[in-house]
Each structure stands twice: as structure tokens, then as C-alpha cells.
Amino acid sequence: METQLIEIVDVALAGRSYRVRIGPGLLADASHWRSLVRGKHVLVVSNTTVAPLYLDALAKGLDGLHWSSFLIDDGETHKTFANVGRVLEALGELGATRDACVIALGGGVVGDLAGFAAACWMRGIDFIQVPTTLLAMVDSSVGGKTGVNLPAGKNLAGAFHQPRGVIADIDVLHTLPQREFRAGLAEIVKGAAIGDADFFAWLEDHADAIVRRDATPLVAAIARKCRYKAGVVSRDETEQGERALLNLGHTFGHALETAGNYSEILHGEGVAIGMVLAARLSERLGMASAADTQRLIALLQRLGLPTEPSRTHSASRVLDLMRLDKKNTAGTLRLILWRGIGKAEIVSHVRDEDVLGVLVRP
């Protein structure tokens, strides 16, 4: 593929700025990432699905370093404290010093868990994100959120720990199952829905090509979403204000994921459904029009994403789980809603009956 397909997005943070590199051939060409490793010890954290496909290619760039790998099983249910402990034990066995580096080779589960372990080891060592899913490329690998799930809810334990860099090699998406690929598209739509109406229209125009995984529009879409998120993160790193907008659909989506024990729906599917529910709630509150909701539903469906929650779980159960969301304050629901495409905002003191009104549909 042509080198001009490579895009670079800068995440500007005081003293901790880094780059997101997006394009083909980045994993096998260590010139794109080897300089990010400052010490001699490297632990590659991956999973049992990704490692057989891409660990050897990464390992070729680790010549001369003292490195080892640690693998977890694949799936959201393995993003646990127990596995963080095992990663820390692997760092100890490696003899990792304070200039050691953790490389997260995998999707969002691997990236979140590996980053959290890196934040804990000696109170914080370097890590590099090498996302292998579209969802991780456009969302979890950028911005420094790390953590694990608890029985009470998703990502309730974690830390902000920025990576040294992000290497998003689109070649790895060739082996990504279609359902996983489509789940990643939800996060791209989310970025447009929050604050970029022009991007939303661009996605409507290029939806079919993106679903086909055509390289040029795919790289463009990933870069535009990452650039938008990088701008938000640079202005509000620890989610004191604007960064909370990036959670459009997440309060609903996380609750649906938790209700299904993290095994019924993928994160991106939860986000897609959650965005539709947030849009319907915005309609109910008189904030936005039904026309915008229908545009959102139409785009998500063209991308092959679900737009309705399962009826397996009661609305009251989902509402109870939504109350555990980290954006809530003093026990009141605080949701990200919108005033139409590209105009998201934080809304506090949302009434239970209004939430139930969109969860319970005829």
C-alpha cells in the first residue's frame, strides 16, 4: 500500500504528548515504534487470539531487548483484577525496572488491562498501544483511560495513564471478524454525532466503502475520529468537563453490557444502541428532533449495527445499573444527550421515569 495512506495524529498534553500513527505496514516496520522503547525490558501483553497472528511480527522489532510475553484469554470477561495481578507478576519475573515498557498488542480489553498494570508497576512505567481492533484504534487506545471491570459495573477500577505512542496498523483489520469490525464503526459514528456534523454527513456518503474496508476512506475515518478525540483529551485529560461528552450512549451501553455479563453484546454494539436511546431521550425532553434520531438509526443500520436493546433484561434492571455510571453525581443521573447531530451536551438530574420511557417501548 502507498505510504501516503499513513496519517499522524498528535495528542498534545503538557510533558506527555504522543503520536497516533495510522496506516498500513506499521507493525512489521519497527522504525515506526522502536524508538518509543526507552529501556531494556519489554513485556508484550496480548491474548490467545491475537498473539498467534501478530506477536512474531512485533517480536522482530524487539531484537536486543530483554523481553517476554504474557497472554490472557480473549474476551471482556477477562478484564479483571486477577489478570492485572498476573501481568504484574510477569513484570516481576522479567526483572522490569522503572524504564521498562509494556506493549499492549490487542483490542480494548488488552489495552485497558495492560495500561492499568503499567500504571501500577513501580507507580507508573511506559506503555505502547498497538491496537488490533477497529474499536481500540478509534477509541480506547487514545486518551490514557485504563482499567478493569468489576461485578458491579464496567471500568469501575482504573487510572489515567497515557501511552508513549499508538500504532494503528490497518493491515491487522484483515483478520478482524465482521462483527468486531462493525462494532468499531459505532465509535466512529459517535465522534461525529457528538461534535462534527460535517463528519457525520461524510460518513453517510462513504458508509458502503467503509464497510468494504476500502483503505483510503477507512484511514481517513480513523484519523478524523482520533483527531477529534485527541483535541478533547488535550483540553480535558481527566474528564472534568468536556471529555465526558465522549461518553454519548455509554451510560446506556455499559448498563446493557453489564446486564449481559459482558458476553451478550460487544462494547461497540452497546454504544450503538445507547446512542439511539440517548437520542430518543433527547427527543422526549424536547431537546432534539425525531429527524436526527432517524438519521442516526439509518447510518448505524447501514453499517450493520444494532439499534434496539434486547428485551431479555428489564428496564428497571438497566436503570439500576445506569446509576453506577461514573458520570453520575450524588446519586442523580447525569447523561450525555444531544440537541441534534454534532451538538452533544451534559444533562444532569435526568428523571428515572424519562429513562424508563425510552427503555420500555411498545
- Other CB atoms within 10 Å distance of the CB of residue 198: 11
Report the helix count and the strand count for the chain, using DSSP H and E. Answer: 12, 11
Residue 47 known to be catalytic: no
Classify 320 as helix, strand or coil: helix
Residue 145 known to be catalytic: yes
Residue 223 · residue 171 · CB < 8 Å:
no
Active-site residue, from 41, 225, 254, 295: 254
From CA 85, how far away is CA 140, in angstroms rounded? 21
Active-site residue, from 32, 267, 280, 295: 267
Pick from 130, 122, 118: nearest CA to 158: 118
Q: Which residues pair with 337 in a beta bridge?
A: 345
The angle, 0 to 180 degrees and rounded to 10, between the axes of the packed helices 267-284 and 352-359 is: 120
Classify 257 as helix, strand or coil: helix
Residue 229 known to be catalytic: yes
Pick from 273, 314, 27: nearest CA to 170: 27
Residue 320 · residue 313 · CB < 8 Å:
no
Residue 267 known to be catalytic: yes
From CA 73, how far away is CA 306, in angstroms rounded? 26
Active-site residue, from 145, 161, 190, 227: 145
Active-site residue, from 41, 229, 280, 295: 229
Active-site residue, from 2, 123, 311, 353: 123
Active-site residue, from 239, 257, 269, 283: 239
Cell numbers linked to 193 = 454525532
Active-site residue, from 78, 164, 243, 295: 243
Residue 243 known to be catalytic: yes
Residue 269 known to be catalytic: no
Residue 313 known to be catalytic: no
Residue 161 known to be catalytic: no
Active-site residue, from 247, 257, 269, 280: 247
Active-site residue, from 76, 187, 257, 283: 187
Active-site residue, from 79, 190, 225, 250: 250
Q: Which residues lie below 8 Å from residue 31, measured CB to CB, with a gap of 6+?
A: none
Indicate which residues carry an active-site annotation: 123, 145, 187, 229, 239, 243, 247, 250, 254, 267
